[in-house]
Each structure stands twice: as structure tokens, then as C-alpha cells.
Chain A
Amino acid sequence: MKIAVCIKQVPDAEARLRLSGDGKWIDEEDLSFVINESDGYALEEALQIAERTSGEVVVFSLGPERVREALRKALALGAARGVHLKDPAFLGGDSLSTGRALAAAIASEGFDLVLTGSQSDDVGFGSTGSVIAGELGWPHAWLVMGVDLDEEGRKVKVTREMEGGMNELSNLDLPAVLEIQAGLNKPRYASLKGIMQAKKKEISEPGPGDLGLAVERLGESGAKIEVLSVAFPEAGKGAQIIEGDAETAARSLVEKLQKEARVL
């Protein structure tokens, strides 16, 4: 089975965030980046399916030059090839224009299945995979917690998370797009051998022309929303911070919970 996996590179959750000069995003200088958490689970699921079916995983990512590092990491984990959409025309989009570009890159070669994470940890639209499915005209499922392929590779039984601790079970015809929820599997670590092999693996960089796409429909110019500004939440109504070393703070907290909040 030939599987496309779309990954996004996002700021490390531990990173200290600062506003960028134009106030529309964060300052990316000196920021460390990682593969988006749920995309990592999607990649692991794809690698396991490829191993079971003697298949192949091709990893796609849209983003600036730094994204090459995320693709290299996916190759070290076992993906066969990478496709990097890095032309400036692809960048700065919303999920519609981003999904459109990724779908075109996926459509330019045949796949049986597309896996991606359910939501990015930075902008968190939770939509790009569904847009890819819409562009390809394939069925999709979002927030997938279980993937069970039939033996002929024609259908996939999907467990999808719902609110309140319930799951929906359904069958999708292949090819399909599955948007994976974090926690589906146990992502592997890269081996030294994998890291060495990754250096020889191909990362192609098709441009808009190669994919037959008009630049007005891509990236920032193809987006239907624009970001006016980003900001930290207003401080003030937050917690009363209790100072002191651990022991002092703990005693002081207990006293407040007893006398002020009266919940102990």
C-alpha cells in the first residue's frame, strides 16, 4: 500500500514565545521546531501499515527551508521519500490554500491512503486534512483513534473520537484521508542506521508550475482569511501566585485554601 503522510513543523511546545516585528506571528529566530505531535502519530501508523503490506510511505510538508529538517527526520524514521513545498507562493496560507497545494502534490502520483495529524499545535485549524480530501474527492475522517484495513485494501474501518468518551465506528472506501488523533500508537525513535540512510533519500521540491497550480490560488494570496494580529492574553484576572520555596508556598497555599477559599 502506498501511503502519503502530511506533516507540519511547529514551534516546540516548551519554546519561549515572542511577538514578531509586524505583530502578526511569533518571532521565529532562535525558536526550536518539532514535527507536530499528531502528525508524528500519523507517520508511525503509516510506517506500520507499509511494513505489513510491503508498501511505501512518502512524506509531504509545506513550509520554509527549515521544514527540510522535519522531512529528514521522517525519512530517518522510515519514510522512503520526501516532498517539500517550499516555493514562497505556497507559504502564508490558510487551510484551504495549504490543503489545495498538498492535494495537488499528492494527486501528481497515485496513493491508496493519506494520513495526517488531526490538528496542528500552532495555528490549530484542524482542517487541512479534510480540505485535502475535498480537493481529491476522497472520503475522510477526523480525530481517528483506530485504523483497521481490510485484507483487499478496499475499505478501512475507522474508530473516530466523539465528545464525552464515545467513539464512532465507520467504514470508509479507499482511497481515503485519515486525520489521526495523538495517542493512536507508540511512535518509534530513529535508529542510527535510519539517520544514515535518510541522508541518501530524495527530497523533491516541486513548484506551483510543476503541480499545474495558479499562484493566485495558493498561499497567502489564495487564503480566504487574513491574520490581523496575534497577542498574549491579557494578564490581571489570573491566579494569585504564591511565592516562596516549595515548603513555604505549600503551607501558605493550604492556609489560603482553608481560611480564604474555605474548601479544605
Chain B
Amino acid sequence: MSEKIWIVLQQRDGKINKMSWEAIRAGQALAAAVGGTAEAVLLGSGVQEAANELAQVSLNAVHVADDENLADYTPGRFVKTLEAAIGTAQPAFVLFPHTYQTVDYLPRLAQSLDAALVPEAVSFEVADGSVVWQRPILGGKMFATVRAKGSGPVLVSLQSGAYAADEVEAGTAAIESLSLDFAAMAPDREILGVEEAAGGEVDLSQAKVIVAVGRGIGDSDKMPTMQALADALGAELGASRPVIDSDWLPRNRQIGSSGQTVTPKLYIAAGISGAIQHLVGMKGSQVIVAINKDAGAPIFNVADYGIVGDLHEVVPALTAAIKEATTG
């Protein structure tokens, strides 16, 4: 089979994001596996420099829609543009980075094309002549293997880190202009602007040691115990999403896909189960310690050291042991 594989990239201010480079790598790997060709698609306004960068990648073509009506992302225009382009070119697979922007419009694209949708894939295999995809389910505790059925393109979004951006194959690609009547497409949404979500800025990315707390701490009155451990280590406190949602810590201390990405030399995760949205924000840490009462928690898969137990007993003991070791 000679199948056409498209990779739809995401850019901001003309810069292609890392997950899009990862998606390009996935597209190149898929093209090699099925004997197809990979082509990229870039939507935006003033994206010529990004397009030139893509011209030096091993791709069959780069389709660029560069138009002021695409300056702001809107689901209406992105869906209509891609619906028309995919309808004409008939790619077998269309890959996307699994970003919040992609998840916002991709289901509508699938719905309007009546196309198979595989969100949040982490890998693929070719089995019996068809491509199967693995994706996390149940908060990352398990993985499902799925396959598209019926006709039409298969739309797949790829989870962060599934493929390596630095393994993108260099080469050359021809730039092709994708020209449609963008102004005639209803944007579906009037963009008012973008603002910072967190109050003050706390830069956890520079922290050398982080103590991160999760839902497992149970209640906000346990926070001083966690602070004591952080103090003993000279660490910053961070948290997974449920703790932030419960207002036990301010939003500017959230670690994960909707918070900060951190790479400290030591990361202690207390009462964090390890949902994939959290893992993408901390798995680059040098040494990861997990404390959790559930031995099956996915956090133990990425941790270097684990203690299975009640964190209300383990954390005070750990604080004491650290004080003893560092002062003694």
C-alpha cells in the first residue's frame, strides 16, 4: 500500500511546538512502517519562517495555509479548512499533537468527516496488514489497543513524549500553498484574548528539589506535614491537579500538562497516582520517589524508588530521617 500520511502541526507566533515535532517523527515512522509518504500541514498567519524550517525535513510535501483569518485559532475555521483539505487529498491517516488545542477541534473534524478518531495514542504497530494504536485508559492504569474500522481517514492525536522530536529525519520537502476562502468560514467563536491563569508567578522549573502532593493526602490539614518535608529538603512544594482544584495549594504550583513542566534532580511524589497529565510535567526529573498506598498506581512505573504505604506515616518518618542524615 502507498498510503498518504498527514501531520497537522501546531504553532504559536510562528514557532512550531515540540509535540508537533514529535508528531512529525511519528508520521515518518508510520510512513516507513506502512510504505507510505508523510506530508505536513501548517495553519496560521505569518508562518513562512516555520514553513522554511519544515522544508528541511524529510517529508513528501508541506501544505501551508498562511492567512490573516487563521491568525487566531478558532475551531470553526480550523475544522472547515482541514475538512476541505482532507476531503481533496484523501490521506489514510492524519496525525496531530495531543494538545489542548487539538482536543478542542479534532472531535468536530472527525464528526464532520465521519472519520475514525483515536485520541491520545502513545504507540502504533502494524498487525495483519492494519495499524493498531495503544492509548491509556482509566487514568493510565491500563492501556487499550484499538483499530479503525470502516472507510475514511483515521485521525490520531499523539500523547506528549510518545515519539522523540530529536529523531525527526532531515531532508527536503516541497512547500505547497493551501488556499481556501478562509474569510467565508464562520469562526464559531469570538476570540477576546489570552491571559495568564495563575496569580503570581512561581517558577518551579528552576527548583532543584520538589515535593509534590496529590489527592492521596486526603485533606488540607495535612499540608503542614508536607511543608515540613519540603523545608527539611530545601524543596519547593508542587501539586497535581486535584490538590489545586481543592484550593489546598495555589494554581501557580500545579505540575503537569495544564501547569508547569519541571526537571529537578529530586522529585518526591506523595499521594500522586500518576495520571498521564501529571506525568508529562515531571517525568524528566533526574530521580523520582513515589509514596503511595496503592501499589498499582502508575506513578510507580516512572519512579526510581517507591514506598508503598500510608503517606501520613511515611512522610513524617522521611522528614525525620532527612534531618538526621543532613545534620548528623
| A-to-B contact residues, CB < 8 Å | 11, 13-14, 16-17, 26, 94-96, 99, 121-128, 130-131, 133-135, 139-143, 145, 157, 160-172, 182-183, 223-233, 237-242, 246-247, 249-251, 253-258, 261, 263-264
Contact = CB atoms under 8 A, between A and B. Distances in A.
Contacts of B192: 157, 169-171
B265 A121 contact: no
A225 B146 contact: yes
A115 to B, nearest CB: 16
B318 A254 contact: yes
Interface of B: 75-76, 99-101, 103-108, 110-112, 114-120, 132, 136-139, 141-150, 152, 188-198, 209, 233, 241-242, 244-245, 251-252, 254, 257-260, 265-266, 273, 286-290, 294-296, 298, 300-310, 313-314, 316-318, 320-322, 324-326
A161 B258 contact: yes
30 contacts: A13-B139, A26-B138, A96-B117, A121-B138, A123-B137, A124-B119, A125-B107, A126-B120, A130-B104, A130-B111, A134-B111, A140-B75, A161-B197, A162-B100, A165-B198, A168-B193, A169-B194, A170-B189, A172-B188, A172-B190, A183-B241, A183-B245, A229-B144, A238-B300, A242-B306, A242-B307, A247-B320, A249-B307, A257-B305, A264-B266
Given A165-B252, A229-B144, A240 B306 contact: yes
B136 A124 contact: yes
Given A225-B117, A250-B314, 5 more contacts: A124-B136, A163-B99, A170-B189, A170-B192, A264-B325
9 closest Cβ pairs, A-B complex: A183-B245, A239-B306, A127-B107, A134-B111, A130-B107, A224-B116, A239-B303, A250-B317, A246-B313
Main secondary structure of the interface of B (DSSP, over half): mixed
A97 B99 CA distance: 23
Given A171-B190, A172-B189, A239-B300, A123 B142 contact: no
A94 B147 CA distance: 12
A134 B233 CA distance: 51
Contacts of B303: 238-239
